[in-house]
Structure 1
Amino acid sequence: MTKIYFFAQNLKDKIVVFTVALIGGDGAGKTTVANYLVEVLPWRVKYLYMGQSTISSNAALPTTKIARILKKKLDRKPQEIKLEQSKLVEPTSNDLHYGYKNRNILWKFARFLNRVIETYWRQLITFYYRIQGVMVIYDRYILFDAAPKKSSNFKMKKMFDYLEYLIFNYLMPKPDLVIFLDAPSEVLYSRKGEASIKHLNSRRAATLKQGERIKNFVRVDASQPLEQVLEEVESLVNQFYQARTLTQGTISFPDERK
């Protein structure tokens, strides 16, 4: 598997078209910005959802769709779910679209296996697009969703989450450009209100920590008016394209991660 990873990594570096991942907390505007780029960029561009949500995916495997149906059947009645969710302080998973209920180990293993397979399936779709000269815009990127809050934060009950992170971090090609749509947690909460401020703060910290390990990671202030965010992101993508076309190297961005 390691040889396959390095082969894919070396091959993608030789292709001028590239991948851009838009990441950030819920309410940062990732999907809005991604759809905007697909419309305005002067090249052939495809949108690909790369987060953990099975609901939002535009490239889900049949097994994922089946799992969603089974999960709905196993879950309790909607009114009971609503009552329990109203008591939550923060999500029980990095993915808000997964249920709050604790599953047994077989369910967790099946979910882990399916998520890994689906992520590599999306990588295969990316590769197919790129060899055709198509640029890919990622809405979210699962590596950042899976990144732990602390490097030493391993718990046995989170074993599959930890294994998932190791696979995504060490055995999967990284996006060529990662744009972090960053905004204060209070701003994000006021926009969407799906996750607690505590959860948003912890995910922001994990994202910045993971960003330190990623080449071409740049932060954009997503608390600005939407028009300014769109303009800044479009400019960054154009800069990166020019740098990659001329040198196929690394573009230097200001260090604004802190």
Structure 2
Amino acid sequence: ATSVRRGLRSTLRLGNRLAEEWWRQGIAWRAMRRGEVVVFDRHFFADYHAYDIAGTDLPLSRRLHGFLLAHAYPKPDLVIYLDAPPEVLLARKGEGTIEALARRRQDYLSLAAVTTSFEVVDATRTLDEVTSEVIALIRAFEQRHGAMATTS
């Protein structure tokens, strides 16, 4: 009975995660059809890539989630990673450890190998400088590719 309950909880968590991901993607598609640029704080593909897609020795629900993200869920057209050393991040947020933040930083930087447009912005600078560079990168991407793709 315990393994059945664990399996049921795992299935429900997976269903909830997939529903949230597709709901947010639907909102993004709607905005894109109106000609708006959509910016995700973090994209599901990026958040789960190191764990559910590239991870090994995972439970079935995580492997299934990774497979769906890798093969069915739209990838971002452009990834802009706001990069800062773990020490800076820890000082700013006061959450996590240097080791965990360094590991997560490497996870995000590894996305450069699996995304078509990956940019790194030095986030140790002022908010105005970072914001200006992000806006410039988005505008440059739009100029190179025309309007953002409507499928992702």
Question: TM-score, normalised to structure 2's length?
Answer: 0.82
Q: In the superposition, relative to structure 1, how do residues 108 and 194 fare at CA in structure 2: closer, same or farther (>3 Å)?
A: farther
From the CA coordinates, give the structure whose radius of gyration is larger: 1
Of residues 223, 230, 239 in structure 1, which corresponds to 2:140? 239
1:1-258 map, 5 Å? 104-148=6-50, 153-156=55-58, 158-245=59-146
Structure 1 Cα separation of the partners of residues 6 and 97 of structure 2: 26
CA deviation profile, 1:53-110 (whole Å, cap 9, x unmatched): xxxxxxxxxxxxxxxxxxxxxxxxxxxxxxxxxxxxxxxxxxxxxxxxxx93322221
Structure 2 Cα separation of the partners of residues 186 and 160 of structure 1: 34
Conserved? CA contact 2:52–2:65, under 8 Å: no
SS of residue in 1 equivalent to 2:69? helix
Q: How far does residue 151 in structure 1 lie from its aligned partner after superposition?
A: 7.6
SS of residue in 2 equivalent to 1:219? strand
Conserved? CA contact 1:221–1:229, under 8 Å: yes
Pairwise CA RMSD: 2.4
Structure 1 outlier segments of 4+, above 6 Å: none
Structure 2 Cα separation of the partners of residues 219 and 174 of structure 1: 17
Q: How far does residue 153 in structure 1 lie from its aligned partner after superposition?
A: 4.0
Conserved? CA contact 1:149–1:202, under 8 Å: no
Conserved? CA contact 1:189–1:197, under 8 Å: yes
Conserved? CA contact 2:79–2:118, under 8 Å: yes
Q: How far does residue 245 in structure 1 lie from its aligned partner after superposition?
A: 2.5
Equivalent pairs, count: 144
Q: How far does residue 119 in structure 1 lie from its aligned partner after superposition?
A: 0.7
Identify unmatched segments of 5+ residues in structure 2: none
Conserved? CA contact 1:149–1:205, under 8 Å: no
Conserved? CA contact 2:52–2:66, under 8 Å: no
Structure 2 Cα separation of the partners of residues 152 and 181 of structure 1: 22
Q: In the superposition, relative to structure 1, how do residues 237 and 203 fare at CA in structure 2: closer, same or farther (>3 Å)?
A: same
Structure 2 Cα separation of the partners of residues 181 and 232 of structure 1: 10
SS of residue in 2 equivalent to 1:181? strand
Q: In the superposition, relative to structure 1, how do residues 162 and 185 fare at CA in structure 2: closer, same or farther (>3 Å)?
A: farther
Conserved? CA contact 2:32–2:38, under 8 Å: yes
SS of residue in 2 equivalent to 1:206? helix
Highest relative contact order (Cα 8 Å, sep 6+), 1 or 2? Answer: 1
Conserved? CA contact 1:144–1:207, under 8 Å: yes
Structure 2 Cα separation of the partners of residues 152 and 243 of structure 1: 30
Identify unmatched segments of 5+ residues in structure 1: 1-102, 249-258
- Overall identity of the aligned pairs, in %: 35
Question: TM-score, normalised to structure 1's length?
Answer: 0.51
Q: How far does residue 188 in structure 1 lie from its aligned partner after superposition?
A: 0.4
